[in-house]
A and B are shown apart, each in its own frame.
Chain A
Amino acid sequence: MMRNPATLFGAGPFGRRLSRPGAGRIPVTVVTGFLGSGKTTLVRAALAHPGAARTAVIVNEFGEAGIDDVLLRTSTEQVALIGNGCICCAAKNDLHRALRNLAAERETGAVPPFERVLVETSGVSEPGQILQSFANDRTVSSHYALEGLVTVVDAALAAQTQDTAETWTEQVVLADRLVLSKTDMVSPEIASEVTARLAALNPEAPLAHAAEVRRDPAFLFGGATRERSAFLCAPRPAGASAGYETFTLTFDAPFDWPVFSRVMDALTMLRGDDLLRVKGFVNVTGCAGPVVVHYVQHLAAQPEELTLWPTEDRRTRLVFITRGLGRDVVEALFSAFLGLVGAAPHPSRTAGERDVG
C-alpha cells in the first residue's frame, strides 16, 4: 500500500535530531549591558584574542563600536574587516536585516566565512526584543541560533542604576551569563554586595569578572560556563527582585508533546507579557533525546530534539524568568493540566468492544 507522503519527512516530529542545541546554525552571542558598563572594552579585547578569530561583530553604528582605529577596510557599505579574520557590521537599528545580509554575503564569499556572531547592543536596548529576533524571523532562525545573552554589569554603578532603570534589571534577569566589570574600582564589600544582588535576581547565570574575560573570551562565547553555586548562598538583599522571579520546575514523568505545548500556549496567551523567558529540556514521550524549548514572552523558538541526553538526568527541567508571575501559579497550571490528563479514562477497550456506528 502506498504510504502517506508524511513518511518522506522521517520519523522525528521536531525535524533533524541535533547533536547539541543550535547545531548546524551560526551561534549568536548577544552582549548587553547598561550605558558605560564596559561592553565595548570587553568586545574589543575579545576580538583581539586568537580564540575569537572569525567572529562577525554587529554594532549599531561603527562610531559606537569604538573600533574605528582597528578597521582595516570597508568591504561593503555596512561591513568592515577588523583583522583576526573578524568583521564588523553596522546594524543601523535593524538587526534582522544585518543578520540576513551577513548570511547572504557569507554564502557568496563577499565576506570572510565567519563562524560566530557577537551582537553588541546599545546600552538602552531591551534584550527581550533582540531575543525575539531568533523566534520571529524565519530567515534569521534558519541561519542562526541564539547561543546566549551576556550582560555586562558595572560594579560601581549597579545599585544606583537598578533603582532608576528597569531596563538594567531586565538585562540582568534575562542573562544566560553575567560579566561583572570595574571591580577594581570598588571595595571588596561593594563587589560582594553586587554579586549577591545579581545572584538574587538571576540565580541561574554563571558570573565572571571582566578582567578574566578580557584575558580569555571563551566565557563570552559560552565555551567555559562555570557554576556559581558559592554565590547562591548569599543573603538575598531586600527588594532586589523588583517583581522579577526566576525559578526552575522539574518533572519526573515524560510529557506528551500536545499536553506540554498546550500548557505553554495557555501561559503565553494569558501571561506572555510577564513570561520574560523560559528555557530548558523537555522529556517528550517517544523521543530518545531531550527537546530543547525556548520562549520569549509570546513567542516560541522552533523546538529542537537532541540525539542524546547530556547526562543521566532525564527529567524535564524548565527555567522560568518571570515578572509578577510566581512559581506557585505556573506550577498550579501544570498540575491542573496534568491532573486533567491523568484523570481522563484510558482507552482500554479492545477493538472487539468498540462501538460500531
Chain B
Amino acid sequence: MLETKDRADEQGTIRNFKLITQHDMGGFGGMGEGMSIQIAKDGRRILWLAHESAPKNFTGLDVTDPKNPKMVVQTDLPQPHMRSNSLEVTGDIMAVAYQTQKAGQQPAGLELFDISVPENPRSISFLDCSGPTSRGVHQLWFCDGEYVHMAAGAPDFAARNPKDDQFYRIIDVKNPSKPTEVGRWWLPGTREGDTDAPPVRHEAGKDYGFRAHNTNVYPQRPDRCYLGYLDAGMIIMDISDKSRPKPVSRWDNSPPYWGFTHTILPLFNRELYVVTDESVIDGGEDWPKLIWILDGRDEKNPVPIATCPPLQRDVYAGRGGRVGAHNLHENVPLPTSWYSEEVIIGTFFNGGLRAYDISNPYQPVEIGHFVPPAPKLSPVGAVQINDVFVDERGIVYTVDRHTGGLYILEMDF
C-alpha cells in the first residue's frame, strides 16, 4: 500500500469532469447553498451566489464565457451575525434568505431585489421573519415568479424546542413590494401551544431539530411541495390549497440513521424520489450520509429501493471537515437549468462533487467525480464542496463552503 502522505497529495482527483476554471470570489470564497442564473436584458448570463456566512451577502458573476467569469457585483451584509445562505432568481427578481446566529436577532427574513441592472441590485421589499425563537430564513425556493416557498421562523411562532424554529412558509410575491404569507405548516407538536405531543427527539448528539430545509415545488405537480424536514425525514405536502398545506406522506430513515433530511428531488417521468441527508459533523462521525432512491409510484407510500454508493470512509474521513451528502442539482424548473432524470449530481463536502447514473434505479453507479485539492487557507484542511447548479448548456457550477469559491466544470459522461 502507498503511504498516507501520497494519498494526501492525491486529494485532488477528477474523473469524467473537466475543470474549466476556479474563481476565488475576491477572497470571500465561503459559499452557501444558493446558486441561480439570470439572463440579463443585455444577454449576459449572471450567476448569483449566496455566501455561507458574513461579511458578504451575495455575489453576481458574469459567466457568459465560462472560461472567464467576471465579478459584476458583491454585496455586504448589514450585520456580522447574519448569513444569506440561500437565494433564487426568477426573471429580474431575486429572493434572498437571511438567517441570524441566534434566535431573536435582527434583521432576519426574506428580501426581494430588482436585479434588472445586475451591477446595481435594488431592494424592493423585506419580510421580517425574526422572533423570540426565530433565527429567520435558512432556505428558499422561488421559481414561478409568484410564490416563495421557504424554511423560516416567524414573529408569531414560538418553538417548543429552539432547534425547531424554522418551518414551511408560503409567501405570495405576485406584488413583490408587498410579500404576504398565504400559508404555513409545521410538524405538529413543535409549536408552543400545540395539542400534539412533541416529537420524540433523536438521542443526544444526534438531535439536530425538527425543522424545514428544502421546499421544492415543480410545475409538473404544482399541488405538491417536496419538503426536507431534517430529523423528521422527508414529507410530501399537498399544497392544492396554499392556505392549508397538509402532509400526504412522510418517510423517515432515522434512527437508525442520523436524520438531517435535506433535499427531495422528484423525477416525475420515472416516479422516483431522490433524497439526501446532510452531513453535519466533521471527521466522518455521521458517515454514511447518503443519497437515497425511493420508488414513488404511490406517493402515499414511498419505498426506499437503493442508495448511491457511499463514499469510502477510510479514504475521506481523515482529510478534515465533513464527509457525506448535502445538495443536489435539483432540476430547477427554470429555462436556465439543466434537466436529467438519468444522472444525479450531488455535493459531498470533502468527498467533492459526484455524478451517478441511476438509469437502473436499483443500482446507481458513480460515473464521475471532482475533488479539488484543499483550497488555500481552508480552515479544515480539505475542500468542503457545498452546492451545485448545472445550467442548460451543461456547464457545472460548484462551490466550496469555506474559502475555495466557485469551480466551473464540464461534464464528460
Contacts and interface: CB of A to CB of B under 8 A. Distances in A.
Contact of A110 (B1, B270, B271, B412): B1
A10 B1 contact: no
A283 to B, nearest CB: 21
Contacts of A15: 357, 359-360
Given A3-B297, A10-B270, A115-B15, A107 B359 contact: no
Interface in B268-297: 269-272, 295, 297
Contacts, number: 76
A9 to B, nearest CB: 6
Interface stretch (A17-25, A246-254, A269-277, A312-320): A17-25
B411 interface: yes
B7 interface: yes
B412 to A, nearest CB: 7
A142 B360 CA distance: 13
B223 interface: no
A108 B16 contact: no
B151 to A, nearest CB: 29
B13 A10 contact: no
B292 to A, nearest CB: 14
A11 B361 CA distance: 12
Contacts of A8: 270-272, 295, 297, 305, 361
Interface string A1-45: 011010111111001111100011100000000000000000000
Contacts of B10: 109, 112-113
Given A15-B359, A76-B1, A3 B342 contact: no
B392 to A, nearest CB: 14
Nearest to A73: B2
Contact of B2 (A7, A24, A111): A111
Contacts of A76: 1
A295 to B, nearest CB: 23
A261 interface: no
Interface string A141-156: 0100000000000000
Given A10-B359, A16-B359, A24-B367, A2 B297 contact: yes
Contacts of B411: 19
A24 B7 CA distance: 23
A136 interface: no
A9 B360 contact: yes
Given A10-B341, A12-B359, A24-B368, A19 B271 contact: no
Contacts of B367: 16, 23-25
A142 B270 contact: no
Contacts of B361: 8-9
A75 interface: yes
B366 to A, nearest CB: 9
A76 B2 CA distance: 8
B20 interface: no
Contact of B269 (A10, A16, A108, A113): A10
Nearest to B360: A9
B297 A113 contact: no
B342 A17 contact: yes
A74 to B, nearest CB: 10
A109 B312 contact: yes
Interface in B244-271: 269-271
B343 interface: yes
A113 B15 contact: yes
B241 interface: no
A144 to B, nearest CB: 13
Contacts of B368: 24
Interface in B309-368: 312, 314-315, 341-343, 357, 359-361, 365, 367-368
Among A12, A24, A113, A115, chain B packs the most CB atoms within 10 A around the CB of A24
Nearest to A2: B297
B271 A10 contact: no
A16 B16 contact: no
Given A107-B312, A108-B315, A113-B10, A12 B271 contact: no
Contacts of A111: 2
Given A12-B359, A16-B357, A17-B342, A5 B315 contact: no
A73 to B, nearest CB: 9
Contacts of B305: 8
Given A5-B297, A24-B413, A108 B341 contact: no
Contacts of A25: 367
Contact of A16 (B297, B315, B343): B343
Among A9, A75, A109, chain B packs the most CB atoms within 10 A around the CB of A109
A19 B295 CA distance: 27
A23 B295 CA distance: 27
Nearest to A85: B10
Given A8-B272, A18-B413, A111-B2, A24 B357 contact: yes
A11 B1 CA distance: 43
Contacts of A3: 271, 297
A60 to B, nearest CB: 24
Among A8, A17, A25, A113, chain B packs the most CB atoms within 10 A around the CB of A8
Contacts of B7: 109
A12 B357 CA distance: 13
12 contacts: A2-B298, A5-B295, A7-B270, A9-B359, A9-B361, A19-B413, A24-B357, A24-B367, A76-B1, A109-B7, A109-B10, A112-B6
Interface of B: 1-2, 6-7, 10, 13-16, 269-272, 295, 297-298, 305, 312, 314-315, 341-343, 357, 359-361, 365, 367-368, 411-413
Interface of A: 2-3, 5, 7-12, 15-19, 23-25, 75-76, 107-113, 115, 142
Q: Which 3 pairs from chain A and chain B are nearest by CB?
A: A24-B367, A24-B413, A16-B359
